[in-house]
Chains A and B, each alone.
Chain A
């Protein structure tokens, strides 16, 4: 399980969604895939992917599938 924390830059609207996340600790942006089985919470409340917005700060956890590429299992939006 790998985690990344950062700011949501873009939401490419294929399905699964493809998020671009700029890590808080700098480095290159990450590509984060969000699908049917991704659990998303906003300030502790479970929400749907439609609650994601550009500029949000979030922590995504899941499985790496390449360098800076994450299949998200959970996303916490702060």
Chain B
């Protein structure tokens, strides 16, 4: 499996330079496993755990217009129709006050119910002292999934020095306290090559806080399963009061083997947040939100990402 890792007192990333097809290859010597095709023919899932406490559905979030989100979409484009999105034209920016269309994000308050408590405010300190905010989400007792650029920033000196993880944060409220992560995982497609197709990572906490909050399941879906899929997303947006969680939902607009594109409203600070499917009461993350720009996009949980996450959730 294709991971690179960093621990404050442990191994640094390896020095192997992968080919484009091997950017998930192990460089740390951790979590060896076989490889699968990126886009599976069938769905693979790892189940969620609620903690001590179809085509998809939209989460029940007070004030959110679910019917509008379900109907407001652009035609789904399958991979054959669109491998990579072209840059948008300037004429598309006629309404600069919008996020993606109208901003219909709603605040989640309190954030101590399922699934909101799986989601964490991240306070990131990089090696050069630069501070960032991002979002993460539990996938196991100690494993918090996030974007690669939240744990490793080449521009800021490499691996984060520390990341404070605050699950279910709601303004001043920290219902589960917080934990400091200094052990991180990512893949060399991100850490070595800076390829946004591989922009995902994980924080390994010193304590099993996820046993209290619970954690998301995740799934590697087939291309067909993404057709018109309703997606949910929630994270800690930087344009809102600090420590407040904001939810949005809508349909997928396109996919390729490594990315999922959508017009859900997001903002800086939501990097690393989960993009999930709710179906028959089961929640499975299908992407890791990382980029804005309309369409916004997530790193797709394809088979290779799934394998890495499956290993990380048990650390």
Residues of A at under 8 Å CB distance from B?
7-8, 10-18, 31, 33-34, 42, 45, 47-57, 65-66, 69, 77-78
A contact face: mostly helix, strand, loop, or mixed: strand
Q: How far is it, in angstroms, between the C-alpha of A47 and the C-alpha of B239 when the chains are bound?
A: 13
Asked if A13 meets B271 with Cβ closer than 8 Å, knowing A51-B96, A54-B293, the reply is yes
Partner of A12 from the list B92, B97, B271, B294 (CB cut-off 8 Å) is: B271
Q: Is the CB of A11 within 8 A of B291?
A: yes
Residues of B at under 8 Å CB distance from A?
85-90, 92-93, 96-99, 103, 124, 128, 130, 132-134, 147, 149-150, 153, 155, 196, 199, 237-239, 266-272, 289-294, 296
The residue of chain A having its C-beta at the shortest distance from the C-beta of B235 within the complex is: A13
Q: Is the CB of B96 within 8 A of A17?
A: no
Partner of A14 from the list B85, B97, B271 (CB cut-off 8 Å) is: B271
The residue of chain A having its C-beta at the shortest distance from the C-beta of B196 within the complex is: A10
Q: How far is it, in angstroms, between the C-alpha of A51 and the C-alpha of B92 when the chains are bound?
A: 11
Q: How far is it, in angstroms, between the C-alpha of A53 and the C-alpha of B291 when the chains are bound?
A: 11
Q: Is the CB of A50 within 8 A of B99?
A: yes
Q: Is the CB of A31 within 8 A of B155?
A: yes
Asked if A14 meets B155 with Cβ closer than 8 Å, knowing A8-B293, A54-B87, the reply is no
Q: How far is it, in angstroms, between the C-alpha of A34 and the C-alpha of B238 when the chains are bound?
A: 11
Q: Is the CB of A13 within 8 A of B196?
A: no
Q: List 23 A-B contacts (CB under 8 A).
A: A10-B291, A12-B147, A12-B271, A13-B267, A13-B291, A13-B292, A14-B132, A14-B272, A15-B132, A15-B133, A15-B238, A18-B149, A31-B155, A50-B99, A50-B103, A50-B292, A53-B93, A53-B293, A53-B294, A56-B90, A57-B90, A69-B155, A78-B90
